[in-house]
């Protein structure tokens, strides 16, 4: 036997191996940006219900990235009462061990809603993470974009963060700030909770 011998069977084997190689390359090829960044076709408001912790985020306006990093933690909560499209949207963020709250009444239009007098248009964006929501904030008609990944979990798997990082790259936004899962979340805002004061002022740039 010599390696120079090339029977039909050998050729077949070589072809098969080459094909397998090609197949694995195409399977692991990164998704195109249009596949990575697309609004949810369908949004079940019941899926939104409850509280979500921010896992990672990126902001198109670089100077604001520092503000995002300085947030120790952040949450988003949704609750719908009677009407499925009339939803209460509450946010909390912890900075310097102080909690800031904001709440809005929103109504879903497809997979989008607006708040802050319409200055922020938020679109639920596709993510392969099952217990996550991915929110894309379009602020002042495209002036700035904020992109936030929230989950029921505080910490995601490496591949899930990699998907988010790839999405951020598609949007040509700065590398994401990944939140430290050991930082406490703000207490839930309830009427009887003295540590939970609602901040009425909601500047667009905090979005």
Ligand X SMILES: *[C@@H]1O[C@H](CO)[C@@H](O)[C@H](O)[C@H]1NC(C)=O
For ligand X, the binding residues (CB under 6 A) are: 39, 81-82, 103-105, 112, 114, 117, 121, 123, 138
Q: Provide, rounded to whole angstroms, the least separation between the CB of residue 79 and ligand X.
A: 7
Token representation of residue 95? 């900075």
DSSP assignment letter at 200: -
Token representation of residue 96? 């310097």
Q: Which is nearer to ligand X, 66 or 203 (CB)?
A: 203
Q: Which is nearer to ligand X, 75 or 179 (CB)?
A: 75
Q: Measured between alpha carbons, how far is residue 45 from residues 33, 106, 198, 206 in Å?
A: 26, 12, 24, 25
Q: Which is nearer to ligand X, 121 or 179 (CB)?
A: 121
Q: Provide, rounded to whole angstroms, the least separation between the CB of residue 119 and ligand X.
A: 8
Share of the chain residues as helix, strand and coil, in percent rounded to the nearest 5:
25, 35, 40
Locus of tokens 């609750």: 79
Q: Provide, rounded to whole angstroms, the least separation between the CB of residue 158 and ligand X.
A: 30
Q: Provide, rounded to whole angstroms, the least separation between the CB of residue 153 and ligand X.
A: 26
């Amino acid at each position: 036997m010599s390696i120079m011998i090339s029977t039909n069977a050998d050729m077949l084997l070589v072809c098969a191996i080459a094909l397998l190689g090609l197949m694995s390359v195409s399977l692991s090829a990164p998704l195109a940006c249009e596949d990575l960044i697309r609004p949810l076709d369908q949004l079940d408001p019941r899926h939104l219900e409850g509280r979500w912790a921010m896992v990672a985020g990126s902001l198109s306006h670089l100077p604001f990235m520092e503000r995002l990093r300085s947030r120790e933690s952040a949450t988003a909560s949704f609750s719908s009462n009677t009407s499925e499209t009339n939803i209460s949207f509450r946010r909390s963020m912890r900075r310097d061990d102080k909690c800031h709250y904001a709440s809005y009444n929103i109504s879903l239009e497809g997979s989008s809603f607006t708040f802050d007098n319409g200055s922020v248009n938020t679109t639920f964006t596709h993510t392969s993470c099952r217990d996550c929501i991915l929110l894309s904030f379009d602020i002042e008609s495209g002036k700035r974009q904020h992109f936030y990944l929230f989950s029921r979990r505080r910490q995601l798997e490496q591949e899930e963060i990699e998907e988010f990082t790839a999405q951020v790259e598609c949007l040509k936004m700065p590398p994401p700030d990944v939140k430290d899962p050991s930082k406490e979340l703000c207490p839930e805002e309830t009427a009887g909770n003295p540590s939970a004061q609602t901040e009425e002022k909601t500047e667009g740039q905090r979005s």
